[in-house]
Structure 1
Amino acid sequence: MKKWFSSAIVFTVLAVLVAGCAGGNTKSGTSESVDANKGEKKPVIKILQNKIEITDKVKAMVADYNAYNPDVVVEVQVVKDYLTMLKTRFASGDAPDIFTTAGYNPMASWSDKLVDLSNEPWMGSVSPLTIEGMTMNGQKMGFPLAFEGFGVVYNKDLFAQAGIDTPPTTFSELKAAAEKLKAAGIKPYKEAYQEGFPLYHILNLGFAYEQDPLATLAKLEKQEMKLADLPFLNNVFDVLDLGMKYGEGQESLGVSYDSQVSDFATGKIAMINNGVWTIDPITKVNADINIGMFALPLTDNAEETKMPISVPGYYVINKDSKHVEESKKFLSWLHENGEKYLVDSFKFFPAFTDIKATDDLGPLAKDMAAYVESGKGITWTQSAWPVGYREDTVKRIQAYIGGQGDREQTIAELQKDWDNRVNK
């Protein structure tokens, strides 16, 4: 895994394609569409997705595909309650031809319904980092959409005002930076712990800093070791405590993502523990803000400070689709036109080695790429945690932040949740 990170250029602004339905003469709920002019039936490729941030851009892409491929119609549906809709569609007999899923355990749960894409022409161009998460029983089942990363997004101008010349590379430097910001009258943090995702991203560090994270996860699942044996887990609580001390304290539990991003964009706070996906909402509020991103330090060894980077989603094809070959053709077309749509339009950092990123992806992408190029990327282990455990961790860490248990008690509760999930 380590060599994959050092050989790939990875990352992104939030990554799963999204869209509403397209194709004016497409009949919903059917697998064919009638061409009003010729009376011919055309295959309908149904795509189900879970993101709404770039709906209009994906509609434009679909319209292009339909225009250049008149013998087929692509229909795309976007929903917020994605997993519920996906399960409902399969249960009702209206399963999509193409849908999105994360890798590792989420993909494994759908693997018996997926087409093996190992021999597709674009598979040889996927970034090496994408392969493990989509390989099930020796079969490669996903079309990787992009990469994204998690770290500390910071305001460079506020750092300069506080006399901080370079981003922290150790935990002690991070704490010293918070002190300098506070002394300069600048609020260091405002953590959005009303939300679950920052919490499990931070907890991930306790797993991902392991020399072989997947081997460690295997030992945990076989109950050959305990969470308390993870040498970096205690450091995770140091990070949580730092964010509370120099931020909103227990009031962080009432802070939403929108509130956090808004205050950061308007210069009210200097740092947020978050991801590259923040670039769009931040610059919508303040297009001229001078920001960057650095890896969240967990220890005082700068060589250990690395950036968690992963593939948030893959396109997969339903093996029971009536239009498997047409669906494969769509994915091949998307790869061939990846720079136009994935990069230029959607602002994704590409997960293919033959699709080039651009400076238009912004400063966060530029900073994260440097970590990958220097071999300082680590994985998102939460994608490989037992199904449901990610949600369990949010409740436990929120209870810790709320003062309902100390570190030892919280780790014990996290262990109970882990045991419950692996023993199901």
Structure 2
Amino acid sequence: MRIPRSLGLAAAVLAAAGSLAACGSDSGSGDDTLHVVGWKGGGAEPANVAEINAAFQKANPDIKLDFSYVPPNDVYLQKVQSQLLAGDAADVIMVDPQKVQAWGKSGYLADLGQESWAGGISPTVKSFVSYEDKVLASPMELSPVGVYVNLDILAKAGITAPPTDFPSLLDALGKLKAAGQPGYSFPDAQGYMAEFVMLMSAATTVYQDTPDWDQQFMKGKVTFPKSFTEPLEQIEQLGRNGYVDFQNAVGTDETTTGQPDFIAGKSAFYAGGSWLAAAMKKASFKLAFIPWPGGEAGSKPSAMFFPGTMWAVNARGEQQDAAKRYVDFWSKSANLAPFLSAEAAISPFGGAGADSDPLLATMVEAYADKRFALFPANTWNLAEPETKIRSLLQNFLLGKASVSDTLNGIQDAAKPAGS
């Protein structure tokens, strides 16, 4: 998931990335080596990539594999995009839905639509790996985005199970407050917590009735002011009822403060992706992970999934056959399984994967019931609009804009050019 960083930090880490990459070049250098680059497989997220690479090397002894890790977000984008522009990028490149759109438009990515795995991609995921109907990447995971729950804190307030709808969430927060227990943690200094909650709520309140809402929006058939009022009103109610101090929230960092505080037992609820599960499981309390309980009383919530990392082949790479064999290897369920387990994600090839993890039970159930939506990272929520939307939502949290004004702003930020 994209998490903004200051340019100063990005520059500093970029320098570090350069020295790291020197240990194993990730650029196509004219030799017989297959060069692969990714932002997972090192640093804080090894994700069992080394294990899978070792298995690939064993199964393909004729291919010399060189994998390079580059830190994520701005660092990765700047480094790999400059290499693509110069024509010396790696043969296989880790991408996400936004990069598929941007680099697909620039012609940097090879068409993989004829590969054997392409027909097995879940239909709901296919548009995220495609540009102009060409399959340009092989998806690696569907990562649930939901609410982590400290069940021990709930028990102290007499709450026996996590909430499943919005009235029961408000009831739980009221009981926690009355019992003097911490409630909902809503750190939003980086801007993505409000974005997460808006979209998680929309999974139930918008996408459940209109699964193709994103496509309709891109065609000008639906609008944010008419469709997304309920998600923002739910956020607003958390503040109005005194369950979240949004003035404090906007000054609290999601990563450096919010997540560690939740793990330390300082809040009952914390929203985040399944990629945080490994860290969350280290907490000393009983843990649950649920979809945002955004529906009316008695309803079942829909889950939000992020179509995360993907493998693409450099259209100008020298090792086309070896690159396609590498991507094909990752598409096999047995080979992909260690990655899915490490990421607490499910497979985009039909949904099998880390479904044996008890923490993902409600997410797997929602996926099987087709109660889910996919994070709109390939339509209106691209990088530039997303930055504007996060800023608009922060102003909303601070009381500087109404629900209506905020939705009108999001509409302007997200609408397709020329519309």
Structure 1 length-normalised TM: 0.81
Measure how far apart 1:59 and its partner are. Answer: 3.4
Q: Residues 344 and 281 of structure 1: is their aligned pair in 2 closer, same or farther, counting only changes over 3 Å?
A: closer
- Taking the TM superposition and a 5 Å limit, the aligned residue runs for 1:136-147 are 136-147=131-142
Query: Which sits farther off after the overlay, 241-250 or 151-160?
Result: 241-250
Measure how far apart 1:340 and its partner are. Answer: 5.3
Q: Residues 278 and 241 of structure 1: is their aligned pair in 2 closer, same or farther, counting only changes over 3 Å?
A: farther
Q: Residues 418 and 24 of structure 1: is their aligned pair in 2 closer, same or farther, counting only changes over 3 Å?
A: closer
Contact 2:345–2:353, Cα closer than 8 Å, also in 1: no
- Taking the TM superposition and a 5 Å limit, the aligned residue runs for 1:65-214 are 65-75=56-66, 76-80=68-72, 81-103=75-97, 106-111=99-104, 112-205=107-200, 208=203, 209-210=206-207, 211-214=209-212
- 1: distance between equivalents of 2:349 and 2:175? 41
Q: Residues 217 and 125 of structure 1: is their aligned pair in 2 closer, same or farther, counting only changes over 3 Å?
A: closer
Q: Does 1:46 align with 2:46?
A: no
Counterpart in the other structure of 1:349: 346
Deviation readout 1:340-364 (Å, 9 max, x if unpaired): 53245555433334964363x4x43
Contact 1:349–1:365, Cα closer than 8 Å, also in 2: no
Measure how far apart 1:224 and its partner are. Answer: 4.5
Counterpart in the other structure of 1:329: 325
2:291 aligns with one of 288, 295, 299 = 295
Contact 1:149–1:368, Cα closer than 8 Å, also in 2: yes
Measure how far apart 1:64 and its partner are. Answer: 4.5
Q: Residues 131 and 184 of structure 1: is their aligned pair in 2 closer, same or farther, counting only changes over 3 Å?
A: same
2:261 aligns with one of 253, 260, 263 = 263
Q: Residues 315 and 302 of structure 1: is their aligned pair in 2 closer, same or farther, counting only changes over 3 Å?
A: farther
Deviation readout 1:178-234 (Å, 9 max, x if unpaired): 0011111111112111122222222224654243343x334434445432111x423
- Taking the TM superposition and a 5 Å limit, the aligned residue runs for 1:225-236 are 225-230=222-227, 232-236=228-232
Counterpart in the other structure of 2:401: 405
Measure how far apart 1:398 and its partner are. Answer: 0.5
2:315 aligns with one of 297, 316, 319 = 319
Counterpart in the other structure of 2:6: none
Contact 1:207–1:381, Cα closer than 8 Å, also in 2: no
Measure how far apart 1:24 and its partner are. Answer: 11
Counterpart in the other structure of 2:271: 273
Contact 2:351–2:367, Cα closer than 8 Å, also in 1: no
In structure 2, runs of 5+ residues without a counterpart are 2-16
Structure 2 length-normalised TM: 0.82
- 2: distance between equivalents of 1:379 and 1:344? 20
In structure 1, runs of 5+ residues without a counterpart are 1-11, 13-19, 34-41
- Taking the TM superposition and a 5 Å limit, the aligned residue runs for 1:233-248 are 233-242=229-238, 245-248=242-245
1:217 aligns with one of 208, 214, 219 = 214
Contact 2:26–2:37, Cα closer than 8 Å, also in 1: no
Measure how far apart 1:246 and its partner are. Answer: 1.4
Any idea what SS the aligned residue of 1:381 has?
A: coil
1:127 is aligned with what amino acid?
S
Contact 1:190–1:248, Cα closer than 8 Å, also in 2: no
Measure how far apart 1:67 and its partner are. Answer: 4.8
- 2: distance between equivalents of 1:312 and 1:268? 29
Counterpart in the other structure of 2:13: none
- 2: distance between equivalents of 1:30 and 1:143? 20
Contact 1:49–1:99, Cα closer than 8 Å, also in 2: no
Any idea what SS the aligned residue of 2:281 has?
A: helix
Any idea what SS the aligned residue of 1:303 has?
A: coil
- 2: distance between equivalents of 1:217 and 1:134? 16
- 2: distance between equivalents of 1:63 and 1:22? 20
CA RMSD in angstroms, aligned pairs only? 3.2
Q: Residues 125 and 354 of structure 1: is their aligned pair in 2 closer, same or farther, counting only changes over 3 Å?
A: farther
2:53 aligns with one of 48, 53, 62 = 62
1:190 is aligned with what amino acid?
S
Percent identity at matched positions? 19
Counterpart in the other structure of 1:378: 373
Contact 2:147–2:270, Cα closer than 8 Å, also in 1: yes
- 1: distance between equivalents of 2:317 and 2:345? 28
Counterpart in the other structure of 2:4: none
Any idea what SS the aligned residue of 1:100 has?
A: strand
Query: Which sits farther off after the overlay, 237-246 or 371-380?
Result: 237-246
Contact 2:91–2:319, Cα closer than 8 Å, also in 1: yes
Measure how far apart 1:26 and its partner are. Answer: 6.1
Contact 2:165–2:294, Cα closer than 8 Å, also in 1: yes
Deviation readout 1:15-69 (Å, 9 max, x if unpaired): xxxxx99999966644344xxxxxxxx3332324367433384234434434553
Query: Which sits farther off after the overlay, 368-377 or 122-131?
Result: 122-131
- 1: distance between equivalents of 2:110 and 2:27? 21
Deviation readout 1:272-298 (Å, 9 max, x if unpaired): 1222222122233x2x42111222133
Q: Does 1:252 align with 2:244?
A: no
Query: Which sits farther off after the overlay, 185-194 or 237-246?
Result: 237-246
Contact 2:144–2:306, Cα closer than 8 Å, also in 1: yes
Counterpart in the other structure of 1:4: none
Q: Residues 206 and 155 of structure 1: is their aligned pair in 2 closer, same or farther, counting only changes over 3 Å?
A: closer
Deviation readout 1:227-267 (Å, 9 max, x if unpaired): 2111x423323225416831333100121223112221122
